[in-house]
């Protein structure tokens, strides 16, 4: 009877117009039986958008990626993931016993890191609570990005609808275990020693690296160069 009532209530929610819902899953975890409970153990992902919403809640696109995740020291490769930056949830797609696809919010309890294609992320607390950070570079120093999106009411062209902003990032250099925020070339260079600053500045000029718009590939090469100066 409880399951019947839950299903009926869920059906009603699907037909509420113009609402933005982020369903609360049952308290605790929701394991997918028959699969490794260390990975397939989290809340079911049920997030609905108002009709006509422009954009999506994901870092790039709604399609899921082939990726990997490290949970409690165990690496899970060849899994299907996506990153909901609006709700700050790592999503895992799986196939149920009946052949249907389901999506779980990966539990943050033991999550350490994950990869989406070529992008590497860590789940870490640097003093302001645990967060997802894209990490560029494998050494110290390295670059950290925290990605977010906002959902705003857009009244363009006289129609009311919700629209997601493009992904926005906050940037840091992780150096000797400390995070140093930066927003410009000047604030980026201030993080490094007086001896290294002119060398880094020359490298950025020669390779036409613009800190605010630099690609991951350019920032990877830059941080590798910086590490070579030590």
Q: Could you tell me if residue 35 is inside a domain?
A: yes
Q: Could you tell me if residue 2 is inside a domain?
A: no
Q: Could you tell me if residue 196 is inside a domain?
A: no
Q: Could you tell me if residue 166 is inside a domain?
A: yes
Cβ atoms of 61 and 31 within 8 Å: the answer is no
Q: Could you tell me if residue 173 is inside a domain?
A: yes
Which residues, at least 6 apart from 49, have a Cβ–Cβ distance to it below 8 Å? 20, 57, 162
Cα–Cα distance measured from residue 211 to residue 191, given in angstroms and rounded to the nearest whole number: 14
pLDDT attached to residue 114: 98
Q: Walk along the chain (230 residues) and give the pLDDT tens digit of each residue.
A: 434 333 433 333 333 333 333 333 333 455 554 578 899 888 999 998 878 899 999 999 999 999 999 999 999 999 999 999 999 999 999 988 788 899 999 999 999 999 998 999 999 999 889 999 999 999 999 999 999 999 998 777 666 788 999 999 999 999 999 999 999 999 999 999 999 999 999 999 999 999 999 999 999 999 999 999 97
Average pLDDT, the chain: 85
Domain with 29 in it: 19-182
Q: Could you tell me if residue 202 is inside a domain?
A: no
Q: Could you tell me if residue 146 is inside a domain?
A: yes
> What is the value of pTM for the model shown?
0.82
Cα–Cα distance measured from residue 225 to residue 71, given in angstroms and rounded to the nearest whole number: 31
Cβ atoms of 222 and 214 within 8 Å: the answer is yes
SS3 (DSSP) at 81 = strand
Q: How many domains does the chain have?
A: 1
Q: Could you tell me if residue 226 is inside a domain?
A: no
**Residue 55 CB burial class (10 angstroms; 0-12, 13-18, ≥19):** middle
């Amino acid at each position: 009877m409880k399951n019947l009532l839950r299903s009926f209530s869920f059906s009603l929610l699907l037909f509420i117009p113009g609402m933005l819902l982020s369903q609360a899953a049952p308290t605790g975890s929701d394991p997918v039986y028959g699969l490794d409970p260390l990975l397939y153990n989290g809340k079911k992902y049920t997030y609905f958008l108002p009709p006509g919403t422009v954009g999506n809640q994901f870092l790039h696109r709604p399609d899921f990626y082939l990726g990997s995740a490290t949970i409690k020291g165990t690496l899970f490769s060849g899994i299907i993931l996506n990153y909901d930056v609006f709700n700050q949830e790592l999503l895992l797609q799986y196939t149920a016993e009946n052949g249907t696809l389901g999506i779980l919010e990966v539990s943050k309890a033991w999550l350490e890191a994950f990869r989406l294609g070529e992008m590497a992320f860590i789940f870490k607390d640097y003093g302001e609570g645990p967060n997802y950070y894209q990490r560029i570079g494998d050494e110290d120093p390295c670059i950290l990005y925290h990605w977010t999106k906002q959902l705003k009411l857009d009244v363009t062209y006289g129609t009311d609808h919700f629209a997601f902003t493009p992904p926005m990032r906050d940037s840091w250099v992780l150096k000797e275990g400390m995070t140093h925020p930066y927003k410009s070339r000047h604030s980026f260079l201030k993080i490094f020693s007086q001896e290294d600053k002119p060398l880094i500045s020359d490298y950025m000029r020669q390779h036409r690296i613009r800190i605010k718009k630099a690609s991951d590939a350019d920032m990877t090469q830059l941080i590798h160069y910086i590490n070579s100066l030590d």
